Amino acid sequence: MSIQLPKKLYKYLPPERLDILENRLIRFSQPSALNDPFELKPVFGNLLPEDSVQEVLEPSLEFLEEALRANYEKLSHEKKAIMSADQFVKIVTSDTDLLRRMYKEFEPQLRQFLGDFRGEAKAIMIDVLNKHVGMLSLSEIYDSHLLWSHYASAHRGFVIEFDTNNEFFYRRRSENDELNYLRKVKYCDRDERGRTLMDLDGDDILVTKGSSWAYEREWRILFQLKNASQKLTVSDDEIYLFEYPPEIVSKVIIGAKASKELM
Protein backbone atom coordinates (compact mmCIF):
# COMPACT_ATOMS: atom_id res chain seq x y z
CA MET A 1 0.00 0.00 0.00
CA SER A 2 1.55 3.29 -1.10
CA ILE A 3 1.50 6.36 1.14
CA GLN A 4 0.24 9.58 -0.41
CA LEU A 5 2.86 12.30 -0.34
CA PRO A 6 1.79 15.67 1.10
CA LYS A 7 1.87 18.48 -1.48
CA LYS A 8 3.67 20.73 1.01
CA LEU A 9 6.20 19.99 3.72
CA TYR A 10 7.87 22.37 6.15
CA LYS A 11 11.30 23.04 7.62
CA TYR A 12 11.56 24.96 10.91
CA LEU A 13 14.75 27.03 11.21
CA PRO A 14 16.39 29.55 13.56
CA PRO A 15 16.94 33.12 12.27
CA GLU A 16 20.67 32.62 11.68
CA ARG A 17 19.91 30.02 9.00
CA LEU A 18 18.64 32.59 6.51
CA ASP A 19 21.63 31.59 4.38
CA ILE A 20 19.65 28.54 3.30
CA LEU A 21 17.44 30.82 1.23
CA GLU A 22 20.27 33.08 0.10
CA ASN A 23 22.66 30.33 -1.04
CA ARG A 24 20.12 27.61 -1.91
CA LEU A 25 22.13 25.11 0.13
CA ILE A 26 20.54 23.02 2.86
CA ARG A 27 22.15 20.68 5.35
CA PHE A 28 21.58 16.94 5.39
CA SER A 29 22.60 15.90 8.89
CA GLN A 30 24.42 12.74 9.94
CA PRO A 31 22.65 10.66 12.63
CA SER A 32 25.29 11.73 15.18
CA ALA A 33 24.31 15.40 14.66
CA LEU A 34 20.60 14.87 15.42
CA ASN A 35 19.04 15.75 18.76
CA ASP A 36 17.52 12.30 19.27
CA PRO A 37 20.42 10.12 20.54
CA PHE A 38 18.61 6.98 19.38
CA GLU A 39 18.08 8.18 15.82
CA LEU A 40 19.01 5.72 13.07
CA LYS A 41 20.27 3.16 15.58
CA PRO A 42 19.22 -0.45 14.94
CA VAL A 43 17.12 -2.06 17.67
CA PHE A 44 17.50 -5.83 17.95
CA GLY A 45 18.26 -8.34 20.67
CA ASN A 46 19.99 -11.10 18.71
CA LEU A 47 21.74 -11.47 15.39
CA LEU A 48 19.77 -14.53 14.29
CA PRO A 49 16.46 -16.21 15.15
CA GLU A 50 16.82 -19.29 17.35
CA ASP A 51 16.14 -21.71 14.49
CA SER A 52 18.93 -20.08 12.49
CA VAL A 53 21.27 -20.29 15.49
CA GLN A 54 20.57 -24.01 15.68
CA GLU A 55 21.49 -24.35 12.01
CA VAL A 56 24.77 -22.59 12.70
CA LEU A 57 25.44 -24.97 15.58
CA GLU A 58 24.57 -28.12 13.63
CA PRO A 59 27.57 -30.29 12.72
CA SER A 60 29.15 -29.35 9.41
CA LEU A 61 31.40 -32.07 7.99
CA GLU A 62 33.01 -29.68 5.53
CA PHE A 63 33.89 -27.20 8.26
CA LEU A 64 35.11 -29.94 10.59
CA GLU A 65 37.25 -31.60 7.93
CA GLU A 66 38.97 -28.31 7.20
CA ALA A 67 39.64 -27.77 10.91
CA LEU A 68 40.90 -31.32 11.36
CA ARG A 69 43.35 -31.05 8.47
CA ALA A 70 44.63 -27.74 9.80
CA ASN A 71 45.25 -29.27 13.22
CA TYR A 72 46.79 -32.41 11.71
CA GLU A 73 49.50 -30.26 10.12
CA LYS A 74 50.49 -29.01 13.57
CA LEU A 75 51.22 -32.54 14.83
CA SER A 76 54.79 -33.80 15.25
CA HIS A 77 56.37 -36.05 12.59
CA GLU A 78 56.12 -39.00 14.98
CA LYS A 79 52.35 -38.60 15.37
CA LYS A 80 51.86 -38.03 11.65
CA ALA A 81 53.69 -41.31 10.99
CA ILE A 82 50.92 -43.22 12.78
CA MET A 83 48.27 -42.31 10.20
CA SER A 84 47.76 -40.01 7.23
CA ALA A 85 45.62 -36.86 7.27
CA ASP A 86 42.95 -38.66 5.20
CA GLN A 87 42.82 -41.53 7.69
CA PHE A 88 42.63 -39.16 10.63
CA VAL A 89 39.74 -37.18 9.09
CA LYS A 90 37.89 -40.36 8.11
CA ILE A 91 38.04 -41.83 11.61
CA VAL A 92 36.77 -38.69 13.31
CA THR A 93 34.03 -37.81 10.82
CA SER A 94 32.67 -41.35 10.66
CA ASP A 95 31.54 -41.14 14.29
CA THR A 96 28.46 -38.86 14.17
CA ASP A 97 27.90 -39.20 17.91
CA LEU A 98 31.42 -37.89 18.48
CA LEU A 99 30.65 -35.02 16.13
CA ARG A 100 27.58 -34.00 18.07
CA ARG A 101 29.41 -34.26 21.40
CA MET A 102 32.17 -32.03 20.04
CA TYR A 103 29.68 -29.41 18.84
CA LYS A 104 27.74 -29.62 22.09
CA GLU A 105 30.96 -28.89 23.95
CA PHE A 106 31.61 -25.79 21.87
CA GLU A 107 27.99 -24.60 21.73
CA PRO A 108 28.29 -22.20 24.73
CA GLN A 109 31.36 -20.56 23.17
CA LEU A 110 29.61 -20.20 19.80
CA ARG A 111 26.55 -18.67 21.41
CA GLN A 112 28.78 -16.32 23.38
CA PHE A 113 30.50 -15.27 20.16
CA LEU A 114 27.15 -14.51 18.50
CA GLY A 115 26.08 -12.53 21.56
CA ASP A 116 29.29 -10.53 21.70
CA PHE A 117 29.16 -9.76 17.98
CA ARG A 118 25.68 -8.28 18.39
CA GLY A 119 27.22 -5.14 19.84
CA GLU A 120 29.86 -5.10 17.13
CA ALA A 121 27.19 -5.38 14.43
CA LYS A 122 25.27 -2.43 15.88
CA ALA A 123 28.43 -0.33 16.11
CA ILE A 124 29.36 -1.13 12.51
CA MET A 125 25.90 -0.17 11.23
CA ILE A 126 25.90 3.10 13.17
CA ASP A 127 29.40 3.95 11.94
CA VAL A 128 28.44 3.28 8.31
CA LEU A 129 25.35 5.48 8.56
CA ASN A 130 27.27 8.32 10.21
CA LYS A 131 29.96 8.27 7.55
CA HIS A 132 27.78 7.86 4.48
CA VAL A 133 24.20 9.03 5.04
CA GLY A 134 22.72 12.48 5.65
CA MET A 135 19.08 13.25 6.42
CA LEU A 136 16.75 16.18 5.82
CA SER A 137 13.77 16.20 8.20
CA LEU A 138 10.55 18.00 7.29
CA SER A 139 7.12 18.26 8.92
CA GLU A 140 3.56 18.02 7.62
CA ILE A 141 2.57 21.05 9.70
CA TYR A 142 3.72 24.68 9.91
CA ASP A 143 1.76 25.82 12.99
CA SER A 144 3.07 23.57 15.77
CA HIS A 145 3.98 25.66 18.83
CA LEU A 146 6.33 22.91 19.98
CA LEU A 147 8.21 22.83 16.67
CA TRP A 148 8.42 26.62 16.55
CA SER A 149 9.83 26.52 20.07
CA HIS A 150 12.29 23.64 19.54
CA TYR A 151 13.61 24.35 16.05
CA ALA A 152 12.83 28.00 15.22
CA SER A 153 14.21 29.77 18.30
CA ALA A 154 10.86 30.15 20.06
CA HIS A 155 9.10 31.86 17.11
CA ARG A 156 12.10 34.09 16.34
CA GLY A 157 13.01 32.03 13.29
CA PHE A 158 11.13 31.04 10.17
CA VAL A 159 9.62 28.10 8.32
CA ILE A 160 10.29 27.17 4.70
CA GLU A 161 7.39 25.63 2.81
CA PHE A 162 8.57 23.13 0.21
CA ASP A 163 6.62 21.99 -2.83
CA THR A 164 7.17 18.24 -2.91
CA ASN A 165 6.12 17.92 -6.55
CA ASN A 166 9.72 18.11 -7.71
CA GLU A 167 12.28 15.48 -8.66
CA PHE A 168 14.57 16.80 -5.91
CA PHE A 169 12.41 14.81 -3.51
CA TYR A 170 12.30 11.68 -5.61
CA ARG A 171 15.59 10.41 -7.02
CA ARG A 172 15.07 6.78 -6.16
CA ARG A 173 17.00 4.58 -8.58
CA SER A 174 15.10 1.33 -7.98
CA GLU A 175 12.62 -0.35 -5.63
CA ASN A 176 15.60 -1.53 -3.56
CA ASP A 177 16.98 1.98 -3.09
CA GLU A 178 16.49 2.94 0.58
CA LEU A 179 17.65 6.53 -0.01
CA ASN A 180 16.82 9.45 -2.34
CA TYR A 181 13.07 9.78 -1.79
CA LEU A 182 10.69 11.22 0.79
CA ARG A 183 9.47 8.76 3.38
CA LYS A 184 6.98 9.10 6.19
CA VAL A 185 8.37 8.45 9.65
CA LYS A 186 6.78 5.64 11.64
CA TYR A 187 6.31 6.17 15.36
CA CYS A 188 6.31 3.27 17.79
CA ASP A 189 7.97 2.12 21.00
CA ARG A 190 10.64 -0.27 19.83
CA ASP A 191 11.63 -3.17 22.06
CA GLU A 192 14.69 -5.20 21.15
CA ARG A 193 13.39 -8.31 22.91
CA GLY A 194 12.35 -10.93 20.39
CA ARG A 195 13.75 -8.90 17.49
CA THR A 196 16.77 -10.03 15.53
CA LEU A 197 18.98 -8.38 12.96
CA MET A 198 17.36 -10.59 10.33
CA ASP A 199 13.94 -9.13 11.18
CA LEU A 200 14.95 -5.54 10.39
CA ASP A 201 14.23 -3.76 7.12
CA GLY A 202 15.07 -0.30 5.82
CA ASP A 203 12.06 1.30 7.52
CA ASP A 204 13.07 -0.10 10.93
CA ILE A 205 16.47 1.56 10.74
CA LEU A 206 15.91 4.68 8.65
CA VAL A 207 12.39 5.95 9.29
CA THR A 208 11.26 4.68 12.71
CA LYS A 209 11.24 6.80 15.89
CA GLY A 210 9.83 6.51 19.38
CA SER A 211 6.15 7.38 19.81
CA SER A 212 7.06 10.38 21.99
CA TRP A 213 8.19 12.17 18.80
CA ALA A 214 4.89 11.65 16.95
CA TYR A 215 3.90 15.30 17.39
CA GLU A 216 6.56 16.25 14.80
CA ARG A 217 4.65 14.46 12.00
CA GLU A 218 7.93 14.02 10.20
CA TRP A 219 8.85 13.06 6.68
CA ARG A 220 12.48 12.60 5.74
CA ILE A 221 14.73 12.11 2.78
CA LEU A 222 18.22 10.62 2.95
CA PHE A 223 21.08 11.30 0.55
CA GLN A 224 24.59 9.89 0.32
CA LEU A 225 26.99 12.39 1.88
CA LYS A 226 29.53 11.85 -0.89
CA ASN A 227 27.11 13.62 -3.26
CA ALA A 228 27.02 16.82 -1.21
CA SER A 229 27.43 20.08 -3.10
CA GLN A 230 29.64 21.48 -0.34
CA LYS A 231 31.34 20.23 2.81
CA LEU A 232 32.28 22.50 5.70
CA THR A 233 34.10 21.87 8.95
CA VAL A 234 32.95 24.02 11.86
CA SER A 235 34.45 23.33 15.29
CA ASP A 236 35.31 19.75 14.29
CA ASP A 237 31.73 19.24 13.07
CA GLU A 238 31.46 18.13 9.44
CA ILE A 239 28.55 19.81 7.67
CA TYR A 240 27.26 18.51 4.34
CA LEU A 241 25.24 20.93 2.19
CA PHE A 242 23.12 20.03 -0.82
CA GLU A 243 21.99 22.49 -3.46
CA TYR A 244 18.26 22.58 -4.09
CA PRO A 245 16.30 24.08 -7.03
CA PRO A 246 14.68 27.45 -6.14
CA GLU A 247 11.26 26.37 -7.39
CA ILE A 248 10.78 23.91 -4.52
CA VAL A 249 10.42 26.86 -2.10
CA SER A 250 6.78 27.93 -2.31
CA LYS A 251 6.54 30.08 0.80
CA VAL A 252 8.48 31.44 3.77
CA ILE A 253 6.62 31.88 7.07
CA ILE A 254 8.15 34.36 9.52
CA GLY A 255 7.91 33.70 13.25
CA ALA A 256 5.71 35.81 15.50
CA LYS A 257 8.74 37.06 17.45
CA ALA A 258 11.08 37.52 14.48
CA SER A 259 13.26 40.63 14.34
CA LYS A 260 12.73 43.41 11.79
CA GLU A 261 15.95 42.33 10.06
CA LEU A 262 14.47 38.92 9.33
CA MET A 263 11.26 40.44 7.97
Determine, yes or no, domain membership for 263.
Answer: no
For 261, left (φ over 0), alpha (ψ -120 to 50), or beta?
A: alpha
- For residue 158, what is the enclosing H or E element? strand 158-163
d(C-alpha 260, C-alpha 263), whole Å: 5
- For residue 240, what is the enclosing H or E element? strand 237-243
Same domain, yes or no: 162 and 232: yes
Contacts of 147 (CB under 8 A, 6+ apart): 12, 139, 141, 215, 216
Same domain, yes or no: 100 and 210: no
Same domain, yes or no: 36 and 140: yes
Same domain, yes or no: 118 and 145: no
Determine, yes or no, domain membership for 262.
Answer: no
Same domain, yes or no: 108 and 163: no
Same domain, yes or no: 121 and 176: no
- pLDDT tens, N- to C-terminus, the chain (263 residues): 456 889 999 999 999 999 999 999 999 999 888 777 777 776 655 545 555 545 555 545 566 677 778 878 888 888 788 888 888 777 766 665 655 665 566 666 665 665 665 666 667 777 888 889 999 999 999 999 999 999 999 999 999 999 999 999 999 988 889 899 999 998 987 665 556 666 667 787 788 888 889 999 999 999 999 999 999 998 888 999 999 999 999 999 999 999 987 77
> For the chain, first and last CA: distance in Å?
43
Same domain, yes or no: 36 and 143: yes
Backbone angles phi, psi at 78, to 5 degrees: -65, -45
Determine, yes or no, domain membership for 139.
Answer: yes
Same domain, yes or no: 69 and 99: yes
| Residues of the domain holding 98 | 50-125
Structural domains in the chain (count): 2
Q: Pairing between strand 158-163 and 249-254?
A: antiparallel
- For residue 70, what is the enclosing H or E element? helix 61-72
Same domain, yes or no: 159 and 189: yes
d(C-alpha 170, C-alpha 234), whole Å: 30
Same domain, yes or no: 147 and 116: no
In this prediction the pTM is: 0.72
